[in-house]
Amino acid sequence: MSANAAPESARFQVVKNREGRYSLWPAHKQPPAGWNVVHPSGTRDECLALVSESWPDLRRAAPVKTRAKLQLGLMFFGGMEDPASRDKYGLLLDCARFADANGFSAIWLPERHFTSMGCLYPSPAVLHAALARETEHIRLRAGSVVLPLHNPIRVAEEWSVVDNLSGGRAEISFAPGWNAADFTFFPERYARRHDEMFAAIPTVDALWAGQTVSVPSGDGSTAKVRIYPTPVQKRLPKWVTAAGNPRSFERAGEAGCDLLTHLFDQDVNELAERIRLYREGRKRGGHDPAAGRVAVTLHTFVADSLDEVVRHARKPFCNYLKSNTKLLESFAASRGMAVSLSSLTPEQLDEVVGFIFEKFYRGRSLLGTPETCAALVEELAKVGVDEVACLIDFGPSPDAIRASLPHLCRLKERCAAGPAGINPAAR
């Protein structure tokens, strides 16, 4: 934490629920319902030490056995604007502080334009600059920067600022984009957006490493430019966001990037095949096939009981699907359902959305209890996934999301692998 950060952001309280489980919570915030304060204020290290002493089950917990430690991060993608609120980013800040204090791997922020669903995230670099001053340890990732919408030199500059503000915690996942309306910035790039993205990644990489690039100057000459400030990290940790196209997985590997994907319109078996293509692509590109990281985005709401999950998550998730027509249609198509949303009556649309919710609920999401969700996490680890990016802001109320975080923390503890068991102070 920087010296300029708000002092309260470095203070935490220890809270405990009726099951005897402990968690850290920002000291200046009221804990979620069902959690009582057992230690009102302290540094992160002081609070972790108290938890370690007070919770013997933490040291004895048997993690799910996976091929390697599978991490959990938080993904934001669907945030809506509340016109009556002056604190549009309060939930994001609270979740980031909680995740940082409780050993989550990363905060993923998207780039979204011109849509009410997701309208809080037009600039992940700006938001991560704010989170850099509110957190100490957690990785700050773009999920994603739509590279064809930008000058790659400007991308390198902006994220170097984030890297400096955070002490070297910035990472970028590059995406080609998919909404034609987004390309009002560069409409001529839409048709070749995938090629534009892969062509620009080496420029960002070179500038990050301190190299110069030659570009046209305003007077018609050629200028050699490098970026300032100099990034803290010598090498930019870079990802590529790939959806359903197998070739995108191959190209991500060939470029030597890590891989961010999802289970929206592919199941675990299809994902396993595409991870294989990604590893083969790395080998073709001259990169270590086993070195690339794979992260999978899953809609997430974890609670004590399935009834609680359905009560808080079902209606928001169905509304989320209705507002994302391309996601809805592509998922239906992947299940053999040819759906034209404009031709459906409201009742038929509700029926389709309800069917899709059940599919996600029963095997493509972390909508459940820590115990019911662990099976999918273990399955993902077995096919080569290293991290789950937990998409939490798809529509549940902010208070419900805040209250779910300690339960998600339980899932993280359950799914951490390693012979030494769970170590709350481990990073």
> What's the confidence (pLDDT) of residue 17?
77
- Give the angle 84-312-316 at the CA atoms, nearest 5°: 60
**How many domains are there within the chain?**
1
C-beta separation of 264 from 196 below 8 A: no
Q: Is residue 18 part of a domain?
A: yes
pLDDT, mean of residues 206-214: 97
Least confident of 293-302, 384-393, 408-417: 408-417
pLDDT of 128 above 90:
yes
pLDDT digits (tens, 9 = 90+) for 317-330: 898 888 776 666 65
pLDDT, mean of residues 163-169: 98
Please, which residues have CB within 8 angstroms of residue 152's CB and are 6 or more apart in sequence? 200, 201, 203, 204, 207
Q: Identify the residue with better confidence: 322 or 150.
A: 150
Q: Is residue 416 part of a domain?
A: no
pLDDT, mean of residues 32-60: 72
Percent share of the chain, pLDDT over 70: 85
By CB atoms closer than 10 A (0-12, 13-18, 19+), residue 319 is middle
Q: Is residue 28 part of a domain?
A: yes
pLDDT digits (tens, 9 = 90+) for 340-379: 666 778 888 888 888 878 888 888 899 999 999 999 999 9
> What's the confidence (pLDDT) of residue 68?
46
Q: Is residue 54 part of a domain?
A: yes
Tell me the range of 23-37, 53-67, 299-313, 314-328 where mean pLDDT is highest: 299-313
Q: Is residue 389 part of a domain?
A: no
> What's the confidence (pLDDT) of residue 327?
61
Q: Is residue 5 part of a domain?
A: yes
CA distance 257 to 173: 9
> What's the confidence (pLDDT) of residue 15?
85
Q: Is residue 1 part of a domain?
A: yes
CA distance 270 to 278: 12
Its domain, for residue 56, covers 1-60
pLDDT of 66 above 80:
no
Q: Is residue 372 part of a domain?
A: no
> What's the confidence (pLDDT) of residue 49?
74
pLDDT digits (tens, 9 = 90+) for 271-307: 999 999 999 999 999 999 999 999 999 999 999 999 9
C-beta separation of 314 from 323 below 8 A: no
Instruction: For residue 55, give the CATH number of its domain.
Output: 3.90.820.10
Q: What is the mean pLDDT of the chain?
A: 86
